[in-house]
């Protein structure tokens, strides 16, 4: 497997130069566009890796499925569905004009910024510091890595430049879709996106979703099969922003990307995959990462379709 990963990494390396860094968050513009790594964790515990799989980057939107999972664990499916829908918007991840109609929960989904901000309001805790610590703890548990922590520089950069997310949050507030103080909700969201991970961490998180709630550390179950089904289904339809349709055809597995350059892919019952390459396409997805996943899917017959 490692020989295959090394081969595919080299075949796709030229694509690292085809994307652009997420310069609208100044700290993300400091990434090295040449970084490229992949890590795979199979359901039997065997793993393979290649390239810069240990390079750390911020999780960005890949926190959204974890945030959704925590909201489900805290509130159940019905409560989450009453606040955030499941249909793909067909709009960019940070879009404000998701619909021409009045804003309703059905008009947003958890994999776009507005839906994720709404989910922050559903996480349980006595205050927003406790809410974030619970989200960080769940991320560490899924990744089997107690050392995962926040990148303070990226957090402050996100907070200083996140005016579009503020607009989304205040719109949610105006429609009664969040009830807490907007800046408290946003602080959780900015911190969540600034959690630092590597490709191995993403593969382990994907492993837990692939194995329906069982983490790699001792195969302990930490969430229900039903919640894994819910999260994976939404990732299949919405996880790659408004490129999810093409991704379903060309790769065919649930996945989530982030503007930090990461991709977490889930092959149900088979493996979790983590990839890092910070050069992005116009939709906010890693160019080289998608190319590698396309070739890996074809080589190993990963598509669920």
Catalytic (active-site) positions = 61, 64, 189, 241, 259
Number of other residues whose CB lies within 10 A of the CB of residue 31: 20
Separation of alpha carbons 37 and 276, rounded Å: 5
Q: Of 262, 289, 302, whose CA–CA distance to 65 is shortest?
A: 262
- Cβ neighbours for 293, distance < 8 A, ≥ 6 positions apart: 251, 253, 255, 263, 265, 273, 275
Separation of alpha carbons 237 and 128, rounded Å: 30
Element (H, E) at 265: strand 262-267
| Residue in the block written with tokens 């390239």 | 51
Contact 195, 58 (CB under 8 A): yes
**How is residue 134 annotated by DSSP?**
H
Beta partners for residue 263, in sequence order: 257, 275
Specify the pairing of strand 37-42 against strand 262-267. unpaired
Alpha helix segments (H runs only) across the chain: 2-12, 63-75, 77-83, 113-120, 128-143, 152-161, 163-174, 182-193, 199-210, 225-238, 244-250, 287-300
Separation of alpha carbons 153 and 129, rounded Å: 18
**Integer CA distances (angstroms), 61 to 100, 102, 193, 258, 285, in order:** 25, 26, 6, 4, 10
């Amino acid at each position: 497997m490692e020989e295959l990963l090394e081969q595919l990494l080299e075949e796709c390396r030229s694509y690292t130069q085809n994307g652009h860094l997420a310069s609208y968050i100044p700290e993300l513009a400091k990434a090295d566009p040449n970084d490229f790594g992949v890590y795979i964790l199979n359901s039997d515990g065997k793993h393979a890796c290649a390239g810069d799989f240990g390079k750390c980057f911020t999780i960005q939107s890949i926190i959204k499925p974890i945030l959704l999972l925590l909201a489900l664990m805290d509130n159940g499916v019905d409560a989450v569905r009453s606040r955030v829908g499941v249909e793909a918007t067909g709009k960019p991840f940070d879009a404000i004009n998701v619909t021409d109609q009045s804003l309703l929960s059905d008009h947003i989904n958890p994999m776009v910024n507005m839906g994720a901000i709404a989910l922050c309001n559903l996480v349980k805790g006595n205050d927003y510091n406790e809410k974030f610590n619970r989200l960080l703890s769940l991320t560490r548990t899924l990744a089997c890595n107690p050392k995962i922590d926040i990148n303070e520089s990226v957090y402050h950069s996100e907070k200083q430049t996140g005016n579009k997310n503020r607009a989304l949050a205040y719109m949610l507030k105006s429609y009664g879709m969040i009830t807490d103080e907007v800046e408290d909700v946003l602080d959780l969201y900015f911190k969540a996106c600034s959690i630092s991970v590597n490709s191995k961490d993403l593969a382990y998180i994907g492993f837990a979703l692939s194995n329906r709630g069982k983490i790699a550390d001792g195969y302990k179950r930490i969430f229900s099969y039903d919640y894994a089904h819910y999260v994976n289904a939404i990732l299949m339809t919405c996880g790659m922003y408004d490129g999810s349709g093409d991704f379903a055809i060309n790769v065919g597995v649930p996945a989530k990307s982030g503007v930090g350059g990461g991709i977490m892919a889930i092959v149900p019952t088979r493996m979790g995959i983590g990839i890092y390459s910070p050069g992005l396409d116009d939709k906010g997805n890693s160019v080289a990462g998608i190319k590698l996943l396309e070739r890996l899917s074809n080589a190993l017959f990963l598509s669920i379709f």
